[in-house]
Amino acid sequence: MLKIKNLTAGVDDKNILNNINLNINSGEFHVIMGTNGTGKSTLGNILAGKDNYNVHSGDIVYKDKSIINLSPDERAHEGIFMSFQYPVSIPGVNTMHFLRTAVNSIRKSKKQDEIEPGDFIKLFKEKLELIGLKSEFSKRSVNDGFSGGEKKRFEIIQMLLLNPDLIILDETDSGLDIDAIRIVSNGINAFRNKNKSFILITHYNRILNYLKPDFIHVMLNGTIVKSGGRELAVELEEKGYEWIK
């Protein structure tokens, strides 16, 4: 599904990521852990195609095609989705209108008809309920005045509605209360299948107990220094990052 090859990248001319190699097959669940400021979110932004985040060398191949020249919306059309570490609030843009526009944009790119407004309302409210947000959220502005946890829940609702194939979850668990971690994890697990791949960025082991990932990678100074199975996360939680350095 995703092959990151010798990727050196950063913001403008500055290198933040150095020579990253990562292979993610369909259906796999990968986790990236690492110290603050080490480049985890930068990798997310590079994959999502943010302006000024540039690939300096190497390549990103997704579904057998290089994506480094695609715009963020084109990547979304191809099935890439990032749950933001810090979702921005957009006052005045209604959540329902935003998401219906997003869903229809993706459908249009696949030459599908627009979704019936009535059907969408039903679907949206269903997902709100599943992830534990009140239906009033359909009347609010995108992330505007949302609490930290509400923002993270809303990211997952978007994932469920847009139905992507490659999902980057940037610290989705930060800011969630203990119950919310369970609810959100259940939502993610129900959404998983053999055609969907995940990259979860996290600092904590707790959510991994629910998500049971296949691989753990440690990123330090913009490069992946160690990879392993579930046990690596447990070890990191006990010992910190010093021993790897």
Partner 1 sequence: MDKVIAKSSIIENWKYTNSSQFKTFKNIFSFKTVEKRIIPKSNEIIIYNGQLINCGDYIFRNNIKIYNINEAICQEINQIQDKIDQFSSFKNDKYVEENLKNYNTGYYIYFPKNLTLKDKIIIKNIIEQGNETEYINLRILIDCDENSKITILNEEKFLNKKCINIVNQCLINKNSSLEIINKSNKPDTKQIYNFFSIINYNSKLKYHTIDINSNLIKNNYFINLNGQGSTCLFNGLNISKNREHFDNYIEINHNHSKTISNLNYKIIADHKSRSTFFAKSIINEECSESQAYQKNNNLILSDKAKINANPQLEIYNDDVQCSHGSATGQIDEEAIFYLRSRGIKLDLAKQLILNSIINEVIEEIQNIEVQKNLKETLDTYMSS
Ligand X SMILES: Nc1ncnc2c1ncn2[C@@H]1O[C@H](COP(=O)(O)OP(=O)(O)OP(=O)(O)O)[C@@H](O)[C@H]1O
Write out the residues near partner 1 by the rule CB under 8 A: 48-51, 71-73, 75-77, 81-82, 84, 87-88, 90-93, 97-99, 101-102, 105-106, 109, 141-142, 158, 162
Picked from ligand X, partner 1, Mg ion, none, the partner binding residue 38 (CB below 5 to 8 A depending on kind) is: ligand X
Choose among 143, 144, 48, 161: nearest CA to 100.
161
Among 18-26, 73-81, 85-93, 205-213, which window interacts with Mg ion (CB under 5 A)? 85-93
CA 129 centroid distance within chain: 21
Picked from ligand X, partner 1, Mg ion, none, the partner binding residue 37 (CB below 5 to 8 A depending on kind) is: ligand X
Choose among 29, 62, 43: nearest CA to 196.
29
- Min CB(71)–partner 1 separation in Å: 7
Residues near ligand X, by CB under 6 A: 11, 16, 34, 36-42, 85
- Min CB(111)–ligand X separation in Å: 35
Three-class secondary structure assignment of 58-118: EEEEECCEECCCCCHHHHHHCCEEEECCCCCCEEEEEHHHHHHHHHHHHHHHCCCCCCCHH
- Pairing outcome for strands 53-62 and 2-11: antiparallel
Dihedral sign from CA coordinates of 175, 178, 179, 181: positive
**Closer residue to partner 1, CB minimum distance, 85 or 205:** 85
Picked from Mg ion, partner 1, ligand X, none, the partner binding residue 8 (CB below 5 to 8 A depending on kind) is: none
> Which residue in the set 38, 41, 158, 185 belongs to the binding site for Mg ion (CB under 5 A)?
41
- Min CB(244)–ligand X separation in Å: 15
**Closer residue to ligand X, CB minimum distance, 103 or 167:** 167
- Min CB(85)–Mg ion separation in Å: 5
Residue 95 binds Mg ion (CB under 5 A): no
- Min CB(129)–partner 1 separation in Å: 21
CA distance 116 to 245: 54
Restricting to residues 198-227, name those near Mg ion by CB under 5 A: none
Give the residues lining the site for Mg ion (CB under 5 A).
40-41, 85
